[in-house]
Structure 1
């Protein structure tokens, strides 16, 4: 079992790292960019070895941690035997560094290295291949950019990086899903969801109100395992923590097609950030996180110490994974990989989203352009569209650089869609036409038959992807572009 460094040790190590890596590339000749390698690695899943992809730093650790003020100066090397490219999810680099194949840069060939250099956004982010089967094969890792407040705080960072995993090749899994033959119980994984109206909530944060009589599709594939930091509950990561310590739990949902409920168990939590952006603290013990989204949850551990499981349960299922926080000498008990009861669907009424308030909302200004973006599709045939089109025939959503734009995602399908916009942070400003000052995000979940409005200021004049982050949905067509033109003369 592995442990994560104590908060004091983490701060000391970070200070030493900052002294050698935080300066601009050309300020000191002896400073060098961070190394990041796309590679294969072997993990153990329930006692069985599995070869997966990964993104590792110079020490072979998964992902990157940047310190306050440190530039994202990274040399990415491809040691795979296939071409690849990495997207810095939620970051706002120059478009040429965004990491989408041929939009505009080509993929990295085996053995090739490419340099990246931009000022990163502070917060909990991640990075992943933008090739569907590679992302499903776990070519992904955390990207944590620490703020000055993080450096000054007396607390310990713990990352919980979630995946859905199959022993089958990703190409085979994707083919089964997109063929429409992989649904876990005939209608997209509706086990346990028969009582559609008022199916129950987790801390009052989910329900099925307004869905009575409808058939909602949840999980369209039963994966072999669900992982937290590459491990299942048969052998979970045990993180060493201090009695009465404060934890910042950074949850990243890197799963291809799974939404999770995060359960902090006996330790009350405060949700303090989503998708890397601070929100007004929201108290609770259970919070949902859709594909590609992130949650930062603060936990205050009791003075008496002990072991504290942090669990992630798949919506509509008993399947779960997690990690364990444990003080010195605490007894760590085994936890079953199956919960006693199935979890409800997440946020079908947007109860969690509607409670979030941005700590630093967008400045008020007139709306220059408003547009509705229609989300549609079906399990049979397995085709998902934006404004009635797949990527091959897409019509871009357009704006001019500097415009305040509002996009209303209107979902007319019976699956939820985590909608991700590249190159921009946006604010959720309305649900079902009811306006409020919601969270800043880069990925918003749009449940069946719902409408969610986001506001943003159009950035660099370039072609930016806009897509569903349910990977089989994206791969079967649910992708378009947000085409930003230069300002008028």
Structure 2
């Protein structure tokens, strides 16, 4: 697939944006409504066919790419034989359009549709089922909202969406793990373990080795493909590439490795940061990163790899100039990738931080859980018996999350964008995000404001943790 640097390529269904939006309609047709279909599709997983789910446009493309200033006017059609609902991750729509079961709208029945209309936040975002089992069956897709600066920049844009995939259904996985219970959108029950409610990690607390990966998957995918047949994206010698990476995995943190290409990290979770150089960058589940790459004038083939945290498996794609030799890349690295301790967050600083002001409300929660029994919760109270967090529209909230478990948790808040302002005892003006990794036995503090009243979900983006109860909600009034 070859296009000008101003063209945008995405996944296995690349689309050149020359007068058309990625929804398969004219970008200036303001009265048109784009269509996305929740449906099934078949992938080749190293020679083995896999029936998975997907969010497809009528033209067969995956997900949605929007031009600058374009409203999110979408009709979601459920072509599945089961009910579903889609959350627009990274967006802050009116509360009824957020896409969570019964908060406030019910799941969409098989064969039915639902319309959405709001002004989206710009940046690299994604969309996914807010039903853990369906998200693990890959009911997710990119959602890219370009800015005027993107449209004017002399560069090519490439999207890489990462997944982990298992042929085993989530219910069977949870049964093998000895989970205490589950429900379609994260409700949980049964016994709960871990530290007492309200307990927080502190110096001298007994600690063993952190649990990095509690699940092994059958495959790790970049744009729906394994490294046995990776996507090769054609690029220009001497050109610039904006690489938008989305970690849509259910339970896998990835290290992004750009190899010989030096990257400039320019945005996280769709929000610009003060640029910093890197060749490796960790990405937890639900998070995104934008990397600006400069290609050498002599051209070549340049693998962009996603290394599974604490393991040897990897996925990725290859940027290659015309005529460059593309060699086979082994699925497994020679050595295991390191654990992600979360200290990377200290180096990220928002290009446009929140205005400085005292907190109107300070809240704290404890993240609990363990492998035996396999139950995860917030304040030792799984969803259904959760403690509702109160807030008012427009007030500055500071939330401190204390992880009292031996696993990291990527915590996501709906309905707002937060700034990371604390890691452990260290205060700093960090990045604007919607999902943050809370390391084992560590504390992370966030600052944010809700612009809209509603019941906004707050949960772990590790799907089996969510499925066993690691979710609560903010009740926002005013």
TM over 0.5: yes
Q: Shift of the alpha carbon at 1:433? A: 2.6
CA 1:458–1:213 in 2, change beyond 3 Å: closer, same or farther?
closer
1:427-479 per-residue CA deviation (whole Å, 9 max, x = no partner) reads 00111132111000000000011111000012211100000000100110100
Q: Which residue of 2 aligns with 1:368?
A: 360
- Give the conservation status (yes or no) of the 8 Å contact 2:255–2:309: yes
1:308-387 equivalence runs, <5 A: 308-346=302-340, 348=341, 350-387=342-379
- Give the conservation status (yes or no) of the 8 Å contact 1:39–1:54: yes
Q: Which residue of 2 aligns with 1:7?
A: 5
CA 1:174–1:162 in 2, change beyond 3 Å: closer, same or farther?
farther
Q: Is it true that 1:457 corresponds to 2:460 in the alignment?
A: no
Q: Which residue of 1 aligns with 2:393?
A: 401
Matched residue SS, 2:430: coil
Q: Shift of the alpha carbon at 1:9? A: 4.3
User: Unaligned stretches of 5+ in structure 1?
Assistant: 26-31, 181-208
Matched residue SS, 2:173: helix
Partner of residue 266 from structure 1, selected from 256, 260, 276 = 260
- Number of residue-to-residue matches in the alignment: 448
Cα distance in 2 for partners of 1:49, 1:71 equals 37
- Give the conservation status (yes or no) of the 8 Å contact 2:124–2:145: yes
Q: Give the TM-score taking structure 1 as reference length.
A: 0.89
Cα distance in 2 for partners of 1:137, 1:429 equals 34
Q: Which residue of 2 aligns with 1:192?
A: none
Matched residue SS, 2:208: coil
Q: Give the TM-score taking structure 2 as reference length.
A: 0.91
CA 1:47–1:13 in 2, change beyond 3 Å: closer, same or farther?
closer
Superposed CA RMSD: 1.8
Matched residue SS, 1:312: strand
Partner of residue 249 from structure 1, selected from 225, 243, 247 = 243
1:407-486 equivalence runs, <5 A: 407-486=399-478
Q: Is it true that 1:62 corresponds to 2:62 in the alignment?
A: yes
CA 1:109–1:388 in 2, change beyond 3 Å: closer, same or farther?
same
Q: Shift of the alpha carbon at 1:6? A: 3.9
Cα distance in 1 for partners of 2:148, 2:178 equals 45
Larger relative CO (CA 8 A, sep 6+): 1 or 2? Answer: 2
Matched residue SS, 2:105: coil
- Give the conservation status (yes or no) of the 8 Å contact 2:179–2:468: no
Q: Which residue of 2 aligns with 1:94?
A: 94
CA 1:480–1:10 in 2, change beyond 3 Å: closer, same or farther?
closer
Cα distance in 2 for partners of 1:15, 1:69 equals 16
Q: Shift of the alpha carbon at 1:23? A: 4.8
Q: Which residue of 1 aligns with 2:192?
A: none
Cα distance in 2 for partners of 1:14, 1:450 equals 44
Q: Shift of the alpha carbon at 1:366? A: 2.1
- Give the conservation status (yes or no) of the 8 Å contact 1:85–1:107: yes
Q: Shift of the alpha carbon at 1:383? A: 0.9
Matched residue SS, 1:126: strand
Partner of residue 21 from structure 1, selected from 27, 30, 33 = 27
- Give the conservation status (yes or no) of the 8 Å contact 1:459–1:484: no
- Give the conservation status (yes or no) of the 8 Å contact 1:225–1:232: yes
User: Unaligned stretches of 5+ in structure 2?
Assistant: 10-14, 181-202
